[in-house]
Amino acid sequence: MDVFSTMRQIFTCRIALAERQSAPHPRGIMLDWMTLHTSVVLLEAAILGGMLFFAFVTAPVIFTALEAPVAGGLIRKMFPAYYLYMGVLSALATILLSFVDEIDAVAMSGVALLFWVARQVLMPHINRLRDKEQEGDVAAAGRFKAMHRLSVVINLVQMIAVAVILVRTI
């Protein structure tokens, strides 16, 4: 039994996409294909919009409006919340996508996994390297730049993946 079959069995509502039949929700609300599809599109748009807004508005404004040490501290505080929020939205989108398109669900699960890796592994390592760089460790400065570049590339790959999934879902 594959993962997606197991996920389908967990939910009390059965959605028959091929026939576009509605399955009654335990509280009497109809959960049909259009509701599911709309929910998936909205989640994907929220993920992509949040990622774009953070990368192209929030971070640049913080670094231009505040002095470097203050801006760095603020961004350092924001990243855990950003990764957690986006990871949760991506996980929810993965669950809903498993009813719509299993290939897109697998891709979205990769996006969610990368948010977790960035939050739990990459970000703490980058922060340690940045602290060492500020203490004068020249070798740490080069490693910090490389790890920062890696985090930017991961974020860009995630953005592209979510955009492709969104276009495919629409």
Domain boundary assignment for the chain? 43-169
Q: Give pLDDT, residue 33.
A: 74
Q: Give pLDDT, residue 26.
A: 53
Q: Give pLDDT, residue 16.
A: 45
Q: Give pLDDT, residue 3.
A: 57
Task: Please check whether residue 122 is in contact with residue 73, taking contact to mean a CB–CB distance below 8 angstroms.
Answer: no
Q: Give pLDDT, residue 2.
A: 60
Q: Give pLDDT, residue 20.
A: 46
Q: Give pLDDT, residue 113.
A: 98
Distance CA 64, CA 23 (A): 51
Q: Mean pLDDT of successive 10-residue segments in the chain (170 residues)? A: 56 44 50 83 97 96 94 94 97 94 96 98 96 93 95 97 96
User: Could you tell me the two tokens for 152?
Assistant: 């930017």
**CA distance to 1, 76, 125, per residue, from 94 (Å):** 18, 27, 27
Q: Give pLDDT, residue 6.
A: 57
Q: Give pLDDT, residue 98.
A: 93
Q: Give pLDDT, residue 34.
A: 80
Q: What does pTM read for this prediction?
A: 0.80
Task: Please check whether residue 96 is in contact with residue 43, taking contact to mean a CB–CB distance below 8 angstroms.
Answer: yes
Task: Please check whether residue 52 is in contact with residue 158, taking contact to mean a CB–CB distance below 8 angstroms.
Answer: no
